[in-house]
Amino acid sequence: MLDQAKDAWPAAIANHANLLKVGANAYRDLRTNMAAQVKDLQQYWTSPGAAGAYVIYADSLGQYYEAIAGNLRWLGEEGEKAAHTIDSLQLDYANIGYEHMGIIADQLQAYLDAASSISHSVDEPLKALSTALTSLAGSLISSWKAEFAVDQGKLTVSRDVIDNAPRFNDISHDVAQPPESPSGAWRSGDWTP
């Protein structure tokens, strides 16, 4: 997961997601323009049956465009979520790394203290033993703090993934099928556009 997050480029993902939103807007504009033109055409059409059939087909085509626009917008929003999640993960990993640098420095200091306490004068063996045991305890505490920080970092990363990850498995966005042409029954010889 770390390798995938560090190699990802959230800005590129967000740009691609924004392009999907541009496509969604284009389909919505197409739907709006088509609806206006159908209304204008319907006023001048002399055959009510043919006009009705055309309007039914145009409405179904408009709904198809609307479904495509909705799916593109949803994909764009989910792509932006993905970019945001990867961006958050990269920051979380960086913060975990900086926290670990401090913990490692504390551990090294504890080891240094333990090592230097062993080399104390043999004139005061009790004091040297006490200092060595205190340094050893400090080293153990530092190691436990390091393990705690690692676990806390994993929880932070998991929380970001849970809260911000895109939901591409949302089944409310089914595939939109293009509309079929209406029945040819209205195509009698007595209608004229």
Q: What is the pLDDT of residues 36-91, one digit of tens each?
A: 888 888 777 777 777 777 888 888 888 888 888 888 888 888 888 888 888 887 77
The per-residue pLDDT for 79 is 84
In this structure, the number of other CB atoms found within 10 A of the CB of residue 122 comes to 7
Residue-wise pLDDT for 89-115, tens only, equals 777 777 777 777 777 777 777 777 766
Structure tokens at 61: 């085509």
pLDDT score, position 38: 85
pLDDT of residue 44: 77
List all residues 6 or more positions away from 173 whose beta carbon is below 8 Å from its beta carbon: 70, 71, 74
- What was the pLDDT predicted at 138? 74
Q: SS3 string of 30-91?
A: HHHHHHHHHHHHHHHCCCHHHHHHHHHHHHHHHHHHHHHHHHHHHHHHHHHHHHHHHHHHHH
Average pLDDT, the chain: 75
Query: Hunting for tokens 């979520």 — which residue is that?
Result: 81
Instruction: Return the structure tokens found at 181.
Output: 């042409």
